[in-house]
């Protein structure tokens, strides 16, 4: 507290005292004399003001321990990896710098000096649980008061490395605390986790990014993501698209390319809730999964993808913001060819089985397609020596060799 008040506290206190005495019409003679740890005010004998003000900045521990328990602590110090090194370093007078914060008293106990100059008793590993159990469970100590109270009570007297982590773990596994203390959060609903797909595009999630600036007649983006590989499709469309138009886009970009998904996850948009889309899903054997109302985080995969796409488009659109459609294909290639944080692999690699060739990979590996080994005919003619041999000529050469054999 004294350190928090600041170095000018003494001066301020003298001013307050002098003002108070001046109001009482009492003259002060030789009123200030500062001693170490004490601020003394010399006032007249009949003054009602107290003459001394004491402060305390640190403390020290006086330990009294049973001889049998003292021997138990000494044995525990010798078996503990850290304290055994401290004892060995303390005996060696030439290497006291490694554990300069530790002190070994005459009774054999080890103390740790913190940054405030306070000395705390070091607890070996085998006795740490016993100390935590005693402080946390005793009714006159922490009394099952939680992590903060237990830590403050223990840290005022004891010390061991990473004690905060150990105390937090102990509190989290206290059987009485788990049974006696109520949970104050809202009731948790029944979770229905999404099953892990067995193949790409077996489960897809989709959503719209509507009301974008008009670009080439489009103001909306249909985002479709494969649940397994995280492969994404960015399809430009309009905000006024109907259920029938959405079904056509889904058929053209998903079903014709990757087959019929078993499950489609989406929010509660009117285009997904309508009877037309429901009938399409039923006829094609797809299961429609709508998120809970007012809980868009249920489809977190698509929501995060929407944010990623919006931020990427913002970096490439022009001043008029009417050219974002020209960047969709490039951003789709960039996203699908980069390793995903969830899988560690590029979505295109997981879907197709090979790494997509981009501009940077061409510069890294400029070699062209390897040419086949040249073959020589029976007459000694090198038939495939020309690197610019056309496919038609190659077929003719192969047919000629087959007929000769």
Whether 405 maps to a domain, the answer reads: no
pLDDT digits (tens, 9 = 90+) for 249-260: 988 999 999 998
**CATH number of 87's domain:** 1.10.340.70
For 45, the domain range is: 2-54
pLDDT beneath 50, residues of the chain = 25-38, 51, 383-389
Whether 400 maps to a domain, the answer reads: no
Whether 34 maps to a domain, the answer reads: yes
The count of structural domains within the chain is: 3
149: phi > 0 → left, psi -120 to 50 → alpha, else beta; which? alpha
The pTM score is 0.46
**Are 168 and 247 within one domain?**
no
Q: Name which of 216, 208, 209 is nearest 321 in CA terms.
A: 216
Residues sharing a CB contact under 8 Å with residue 385, sequence separation 6 or more, in sequence order: 374
The DSSP annotation for 174-190 comes to -HHHHHHSPP-SPPPPP
**Are 208 and 345 within one domain?**
yes
Output the average pLDDT for the chain: 78
Whether 302 maps to a domain, the answer reads: yes
Residues sharing a CB contact under 8 Å with residue 204, sequence separation 6 or more, in sequence order: 224, 225, 226, 227, 254, 261, 263, 264, 265
Whether 271 maps to a domain, the answer reads: yes
**Are 228 and 346 within one domain?**
yes
**Are 109 and 159 within one domain?**
yes
Per-residue pLDDT at 154: 92
Per DSSP, helices labelled H in 80-184 are: 81-91, 125-137, 147-155, 163-172, 175-180
**Are 39 and 72 within one domain?**
no
Per-residue pLDDT at 97: 67
Among the candidates 145, 180, 215, a domain finishes at 180
Whether 79 maps to a domain, the answer reads: yes
Per-residue pLDDT at 53: 52
Whether 374 maps to a domain, the answer reads: no
**Residue 107, number of CB atoms within 10 A of its CB:** 12
């Amino acid at each position: 507290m004294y350190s928090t008040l600041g170095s000018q506290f003494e001066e301020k206190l003298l001013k307050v005292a002098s003002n108070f005495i001046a109001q009482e019409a009492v003259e002060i003679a030789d009123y200030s004399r500062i001693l170490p740890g004490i601020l003394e005010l010399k006032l007249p004998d009949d003054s009602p003001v107290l003459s001394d003000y004491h402060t305390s900045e640190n403390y020290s521990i006086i330990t009294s321990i049973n001889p049998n328990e003292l021997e138990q602590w000494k044995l525990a110090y010798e078996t503990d990896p850290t304290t055994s090194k401290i004892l060995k370093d303390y005996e060696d007078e030439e290497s006291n710098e490694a554990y300069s914060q530790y002190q070994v008293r005459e009774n054999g106990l080890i103390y740790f000096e913190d940054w405030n100059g306070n000395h705390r008793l070091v607890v070996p590993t085998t006795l740490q649980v016993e100390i935590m159990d005693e402080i946390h469970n005793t009714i006159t100590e922490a009394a099952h008061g939680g992590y903060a109270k237990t830590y403050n009570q223990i840290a005022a007297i004891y010390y061991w490395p990473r004690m905060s982590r150990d105390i937090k773990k102990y509190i989290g596994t206290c059987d009485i605390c788990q049974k006696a203390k109520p949970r104050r959060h809202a009731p948790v609903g029944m979770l229905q986790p999404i099953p892990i797909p067995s193949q790409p595009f077996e489960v897809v999630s989709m959503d719209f990014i509507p009301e974008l600036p008009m670009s080439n007649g489009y103001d909306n983006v249909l985002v479709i993501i494969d649940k397994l590989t995280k492969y994404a499709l960015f399809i430009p469309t309009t905000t006024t698209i109907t259920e029938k138009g959405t079904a056509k886009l889904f058929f053209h970009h998903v079903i014709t390319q990757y087959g019929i998904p078993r499950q489609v996850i989406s929010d509660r948009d009117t285009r997904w809730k309508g009877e037309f889309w429901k009938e399409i899903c039923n006829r094609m054997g797809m299961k429609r999964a709508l998120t809970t109302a007012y809980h868009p985080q249920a489809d977190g995969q698509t929501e995060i993808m929407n944010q990623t796409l919006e931020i990427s488009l913002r970096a490439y659109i022009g001043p008029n913001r009417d050219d974002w459609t020209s960047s969709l294909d490039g951003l789709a290639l960039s996203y699908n060819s980069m390793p995903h944080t969830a899988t560690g692999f590029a979505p295109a690699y997981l879907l197709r089985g090979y790494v997509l060739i981009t501009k940077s990979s061409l510069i890294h590996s400029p070699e062209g397609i390897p040419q086949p080994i040249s073959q020589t005919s029976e007459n000694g003619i090198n038939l495939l020596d020309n690197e610019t041999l056309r496919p038609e000529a190659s077929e003719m050469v192969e047919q000629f060799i087959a007929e000769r054999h």
